Copies of this chain bind each other. A is one copy, B any other.
Amino acid sequence: MDTKSPARHFIYTDWILIETQFDPEQLHSRETLFTIGNGFLGTRGSFEEGYIRALPATFIHGVYNDVPVVYTELANCPDWLPLVVIINDERFRLNQGEILRYDRQLDLRQGLVSRSLRWRSPSGNTVDIHFERFASLADQHVLGQRCQITPLNFDGLIEVQASINGYPENQGFNHWEDLDQGKTDQGIWFHSRTRKSRIDIGMAAKMTISGVEASLQVNTAPGYPTLSASFLATSEQTVTIEKLVTVFTSQEIDAPVLAAQEKLAHLPDYAMLLNANQQAWDEVWQDSDIVIEGDSTAAFAVRYNLFQLLIAAPRHDDKVSIPAKTLSGFGYRGHVFWDTEIFILPFFTFTQPDLARNLLSYRYHTLDGARRKAIHSGYQGAMFAWESADTGDEVTPRWSLPNDFYGEDVRIWCRDREIHISADIPYAIWYYWQVTGDDQWMRDCGAEIVLDTAVFWGSRVEFNSQNERYEIRSVIGADEYHELVHNNTFTNRLVQWHLEKALIVYDWLHNNFPERAAELEKKLQLTLEMRSHWQDIISKIWIPYDSSTGLIEQYEGFFQLEDINLEEYEPRERSIQAILGIEATNKRQVLKQPDVLMLLYLMRESADYPYNQKALQANWDYYAPRTDITYGSSLGPAIHAILASDLGKSREAYERFMQAVMVDLEDSRGNTADGIHGASAGGIWQAVVFGFGGIQFKDSKPVANPHLPPGWTRLKFKLHWRGQWHEFDLRSQQITQEENNRGFILFAPQANSSSALSSPSLHNPDIRGVIFDLDGVLTDTAEYHYLAWQQLADEEGIPFNRQANEPLRGVSRRASLMLILGDRQYSEPEIQEMMERKNHYYVELIQTISPKDLLPGAIALLDELRQAGIKIAIGSASKNARMVVEGLGIADKVDAIADGYSVERPKPAPDLFLYAANQLGLEPQQCVVFEDAAAGIEAALAAGMWTVGLGPPERVGASHIVLPNLAGVKWAELQAKLSDVSKQKRLS
């Protein structure tokens, strides 16, 4: 794993994102990644205790407020997170003291963010702190937080301050005017209002403390109401703080403060709320989940992207939509683009159609804004804003202003010229209607949008009498590298398609709902002449398509531009526009994102003009190499993945797909700090379902024509199509299709092909990774364990010595204790206490671990392995493994850590090593395990891995190779030995 990659401190399980180390450099991107939400609000994953230059944010759908230059933005709302812990007058925070343990998780199954820390204060007080938070999907006005504090080496005074921060900010700007705050029987409340848009927010919060006697106080500093509690904490005893927050705005209810207070007064406890939240999530995942097997990174990453879309989709509000950066960051100011309709919407249309309808209804409610834009631009009908907010008026900034005193003002032309949005929205409406059959919504809302945007096009096209054709001049197409073009094929064809559909919609409405048709005819002035005009445009608009080659010119004159060879600019970490400048880029045949190919993708489903296999091949060959797919628009990769898959380019398809699916998890464009790439997330669903799943709609039902990427053994998802659910369970290679009697479409499961738990395959071993047990292999923490057990045994009066310690090697804490206790009877609480006591001794002992505690030969071998490109993991049953690795100073040399938190079943179960291999992205047979314990060797063999046993043969003799220890061990020699072993096995 590249040490520069920001994802190196991540572990992905099926459902859980685990961050294993705190890196201040990644603060802002991680705040984005750990965003939670419930369709009402989104809250970035900032720390409860704050951090210097952190960017905490809670965005509530529709809560926009005015701001210079960009007109309006989603206002960062009062922050419900602050929870400050002060230990003997030392404030807990990560930039002071020492972080002895760190683990942050986002559980996608229930939208729960948790963080477990062991922290030593500057003066030496060590404490375990566990935080949790969730935004309830069961009740969108409810937010929950839990904090558990366990002093480890002291008794002392702990103060907890739980606040609402009424001074939230958008890049320094506070959109709120604080109206009031106060106390209630339940706790505190807060009332604030956006300055220009006059939206009120009401919040209320209460705090409960269990595990200790605490005195609660309320402070009502203006804008910063705080519940604080002080208590005397006792070493090893856990105190639990629960903070529940309710939030309403005047968008949902007249008196939001009262509503927040009343809701708070009747809330059940944290555990019940969390349970209700989980049930709500279960239902959502039931329909929206995608199961991928054989590619654990992709499996998690796809779920992660879907999760980010699910938390951003409004569930109870159809006047708002999903912004380009969802509700997870400040990028694009919460403005809504075509990203929603073209990239994000299909996921909802096919798995959560009610939410899709909400999203499209936003465009219906903002039609008046689109009409104002048309009037101000000198056109008729509805001209949708390129960037849209609460009113639908155009909010694309006109200028990108320089940061320095003498820089250039850069004019942003999208508001004026990127007009294809007014065909994109009808396109999305048409497919929503086709997929759902929602005639009622089409009658009430959809038709008016489709028809009034058609009116706009009728006024926007120009007739070129010389060439007897309609043209659309002065536009920006999908490709934004060219800012002033004429007759962009993408735009022209989409307008033609739109007008065709508008006439169909008109006829349908006329035939089925004549009253509504008459109403709209009058309101939109849909005359016969206008419809004839549309027909005329359809037949005469210029679509430059060379049917002999299938090649389509992106716009009039594109082929005359200077050509480019993008490979000449590699390696690079910036976009071509950043390298060449705006003007020079404008003049070359280089694309920011697919344009002709985007058109072909949009026509692919219907195989409509100009889509055909020849055109796809010809245009792919021409445009793909000229597209800045790595650092241009993030909208591109998922679309390229689908088309590459269609063309049988499975390697490239997978590469593009991974580029899209990891864009935020790996922060590969460096701007995850600004928020989740929502369009990319939506594109991923399309890439999986339409690309790899190859879903097409034939004979009124969806049919799969899968091209699973190499390694994918299973792909499973559901689609809702015209009132019925269709379930797809696709396996690699042999695929059969059956329809079961419940109306589901199933692909018969293929027999398990791989043999994860069998021995390594018997050809020349292809070793790519090494997994080291920690205790007894890299270091002698076994000695510390022994000392800790010895102290416990002495205190309990149980005979124990070094010899008795031998069988404990590589054995879990509980199992070790059982061995020590023998036949002695203890209650479970007593056992728990002893385990904690021993661990407490052990943790104290290992605080002092340093690089000199590495066993002889360890560092040399680690370095040699890294030189050889072999990946390295730690596979230790210890829950303290991370701390030990840090103390040893080898964290930089290790690509992954599997520890006592990673899996449930201890060695000799193979789980821990399988987990480690997965983290390394390797197959079991590509891994060698170094172990000093019998249980460890057994586990490694069960995992199907190669094994090197360290120690006496009577202990580790089951391993492939036995060595006394690591001293003098050379990787090259070991490789040779393993090769010999492999040959022997093959011959045997």
**Chain A residues close to B by CB (< 8 Å):** 50, 52-53, 66, 68-69, 71, 82, 84, 161, 163, 165, 167, 169, 172-175, 177, 179, 195, 219-224, 226, 228, 372-373, 376, 393-395, 398-399, 401, 403, 405-406, 409
Please, which residues of chain B bring their CB within 8 A of the CB of A177?
A: 52-53
Please, which residues of chain B bring their CB within 8 A of the CB of A52?
A: 177, 179
Please, which residues of chain B bring their CB within 8 A of the CB of A195?
A: 172
Output the least CB separation between A228 and chain B (Å). Answer: 7
Please, which residues of chain B bring their CB within 8 A of the CB of A165?
A: 222
Cα A222 to Cα B161 in complex, Å, equals: 10
Cα A224 to Cα B401 in complex, Å, equals: 33
Task: Verify B403–A66 contact, CB threshold 8 A.
Answer: yes
Output the nearest chain B residue to A369 by Cβ-Cβ distance. B405
| CB pairs A–B below 8 angstroms (21 shown) | A52-B179, A66-B403, A68-B69, A69-B401, A71-B405, A163-B221, A163-B222, A167-B167, A167-B174, A167-B223, A174-B174, A221-B224, A222-B224, A224-B224, A373-B405, A373-B406, A376-B406, A393-B405, A394-B406, A398-B401, A399-B409
Please, which residues of chain B bring their CB within 8 A of the CB of A219?
A: 161, 219, 221, 226, 228
Task: Verify A221–B221 contact, CB threshold 8 A.
Answer: yes
Supposing A172-B195, A221-B221, A222-B84 touch, asked if A394 and B405 sit within 8 A by C-beta, the answer is: yes
Cα A224 to Cα B226 in complex, Å, equals: 11
Output the least CB separation between A90 and chain B (Å). Answer: 10
Task: Verify A82–B401 contact, CB threshold 8 A.
Answer: no
Partner of A223, one of B69, B224, B395: B224
Cα A393 to Cα B220 in complex, Å, equals: 43
Supposing A169-B174, A172-B173, A173-B173 touch, asked if A222 and B82 sit within 8 A by C-beta, the answer is: yes
Cα A161 to Cα B225 in complex, Å, equals: 13
Output the least CB separation between A623 and chain B (Å). Answer: 35
> Main secondary structure on chain A at its contact with chain B?
loop
Output the least CB separation between A85 and chain B (Å). Answer: 13
With a 10 A CB-CB cut-off, give which of A69, A175, A220, A395 has the most chain B CB atoms: A220
Partner of A175, one of B50, B172, B394: B172
Output the least CB separation between A27 and chain B (Å). Answer: 13
Output the least CB separation between A172 and chain B (Å). Answer: 5
With a 10 A CB-CB cut-off, give which of A68, A161, A398, A406 has the most chain B CB atoms: A68
In the complex, besides A69-B401, A174-B174, A398-B401, 12 extra interface pairs with C-beta distance below 8 angstroms are A52-B177, A52-B179, A71-B405, A82-B222, A163-B222, A165-B222, A167-B167, A172-B174, A219-B228, A224-B224, A376-B405, A399-B401
Supposing A172-B173, A172-B175, A222-B50 touch, asked if A395 and B405 sit within 8 A by C-beta, the answer is: yes
Cα A513 to Cα B236 in complex, Å, equals: 78
Please, which residues of chain B bring their CB within 8 A of the CB of A401?
A: 68-69, 398-399
Output the nearest chain B residue to A176 by Cβ-Cβ distance. B172
The 3 A-B pairs at the shortest CB distance, nearest first, are namely: A167-B167, A376-B406, A393-B405
Protomer copies: 2
Please, which residues of chain B bring their CB within 8 A of the CB of A68?
A: 68-69, 401
Please, which residues of chain B bring their CB within 8 A of the CB of A84?
A: 222
Output the nearest chain B residue to A54 by Cβ-Cβ distance. B177
Output the nearest chain B residue to A53 by Cβ-Cβ distance. B177
Output the nearest chain B residue to A389 by Cβ-Cβ distance. B405
With a 10 A CB-CB cut-off, give which of A69, A228, A394, A406 has the most chain B CB atoms: A406
Please, which residues of chain B bring their CB within 8 A of the CB of A373?
A: 405-406
Cα A917 to Cα B52 in complex, Å, equals: 60
Please, which residues of chain B bring their CB within 8 A of the CB of A173?
A: 172-174
Output the least CB separation between A330 and chain B (Å). Answer: 14
Cα A224 to Cα B219 in complex, Å, equals: 11
Please, which residues of chain B bring their CB within 8 A of the CB of A399?
A: 399, 401, 409
With a 10 A CB-CB cut-off, give which of A53, A223, A224 has the most chain B CB atoms: A224
Please, which residues of chain B bring their CB within 8 A of the CB of A372?
A: 405-406
Task: Verify A221–B172 contact, CB threshold 8 A.
Answer: no
Cα A376 to Cα B405 in complex, Å, equals: 10
Output the least CB separation between A889 and chain B (Å). Answer: 31
Output the nearest chain B residue to A406 by Cβ-Cβ distance. B376
Output the least CB separation between A230 and chain B (Å). Answer: 11
Output the least CB separation between A613 and chain B (Å). Answer: 45
Please, which residues of chain B bring their CB within 8 A of the CB of A172?
A: 173-175, 195
Output the nearest chain B residue to A175 by Cβ-Cβ distance. B172
Cα A222 to Cα B372 in complex, Å, equals: 44
Task: Verify B71–A69 contact, CB threshold 8 A.
Answer: no
Cα A252 to Cα B224 in complex, Å, equals: 31
Cα A555 to Cα B53 in complex, Å, equals: 52
Cα A242 to Cα B981 in complex, Å, equals: 86
Partner of A221, one of B69, B226, B405: B226
Output the least CB separation between A275 and chain B (Å). Answer: 32
Output the nearest chain B residue to A403 by Cβ-Cβ distance. B66
Cα A165 to Cα B174 in complex, Å, equals: 14
Output the least CB separation between A456 and chain B (Å). Answer: 16
Please, which residues of chain B bring their CB within 8 A of the CB of A66?
A: 403
Please, which residues of chain B bring their CB within 8 A of the CB of A50?
A: 222
Output the least CB separation between A95 and chain B (Å). Answer: 10
Cα A219 to Cα B84 in complex, Å, equals: 12
Please, which residues of chain B bring their CB within 8 A of the CB of A221?
A: 161, 163, 219, 221, 224, 226
Cα A226 to Cα B225 in complex, Å, equals: 12
Please, which residues of chain B bring their CB within 8 A of the CB of A226?
A: 219, 221
Cα A580 to Cα B690 in complex, Å, equals: 61
Cα A373 to Cα B66 in complex, Å, equals: 33
Cα A50 to Cα B219 in complex, Å, equals: 17
Cα A163 to Cα B224 in complex, Å, equals: 12
Output the least CB separation between A165 and chain B (Å). Answer: 7
Cα A169 to Cα B174 in complex, Å, equals: 8
Output the least CB separation between A335 and chain B (Å). Answer: 12
Output the least CB separation between A387 and chain B (Å). Answer: 11
Task: Verify A409–B405 contact, CB threshold 8 A.
Answer: no
Cα A167 to Cα B172 in complex, Å, equals: 10
Output the least CB separation between A512 and chain B (Å). Answer: 37
Please, which residues of chain B bring their CB within 8 A of the CB of A161?
A: 219-221
Cα A183 to Cα B385 in complex, Å, equals: 52
Cα A68 to Cα B69 in complex, Å, equals: 9
Cα A381 to Cα B19 in complex, Å, equals: 56
Output the least CB separation between A507 and chain B (Å). Answer: 35
Cα A659 to Cα B175 in complex, Å, equals: 37
Cα A163 to Cα B174 in complex, Å, equals: 20
Output the least CB separation between A909 and chain B (Å). Answer: 46
Cα A372 to Cα B84 in complex, Å, equals: 47
Cα A403 to Cα B72 in complex, Å, equals: 10
Output the least CB separation between A168 and chain B (Å). Answer: 10
Cα A228 to Cα B218 in complex, Å, equals: 12
Output the least CB separation between A69 and chain B (Å). Answer: 6
Please, which residues of chain B bring their CB within 8 A of the CB of A71?
A: 405
Cα A426 to Cα B398 in complex, Å, equals: 39
Cα A652 to Cα B398 in complex, Å, equals: 47
Please, which residues of chain B bring their CB within 8 A of the CB of A223?
A: 167, 224
Please, which residues of chain B bring their CB within 8 A of the CB of A69?
A: 68-69, 401
Output the nearest chain B residue to A223 by Cβ-Cβ distance. B167
Cα A82 to Cα B393 in complex, Å, equals: 40
Output the least CB separation between A494 and chain B (Å). Answer: 25
Output the least CB separation between A731 and chain B (Å). Answer: 53
Please, which residues of chain B bring their CB within 8 A of the CB of A82?
A: 222
Output the least CB separation between A673 and chain B (Å). Answer: 16
Task: Verify B403–A409 contact, CB threshold 8 A.
Answer: no
With a 10 A CB-CB cut-off, give which of A167, A398, A405 has the most chain B CB atoms: A405
Output the least CB separation between A388 and chain B (Å). Answer: 11
Cα A376 to Cα B398 in complex, Å, equals: 24
Please, which residues of chain B bring their CB within 8 A of the CB of A224?
A: 221-224
Cα A615 to Cα B833 in complex, Å, equals: 101
With a 10 A CB-CB cut-off, give which of A165, A169, A172, A399 has the most chain B CB atoms: A172
Output the nearest chain B residue to A183 by Cβ-Cβ distance. B89
Cα A395 to Cα B222 in complex, Å, equals: 34
Cα A216 to Cα B777 in complex, Å, equals: 59
Cα A395 to Cα B405 in complex, Å, equals: 7
Output the least CB separation between A406 and chain B (Å). Answer: 4
Output the least CB separation between A277 and chain B (Å). Answer: 28
Cα A73 to Cα B167 in complex, Å, equals: 21
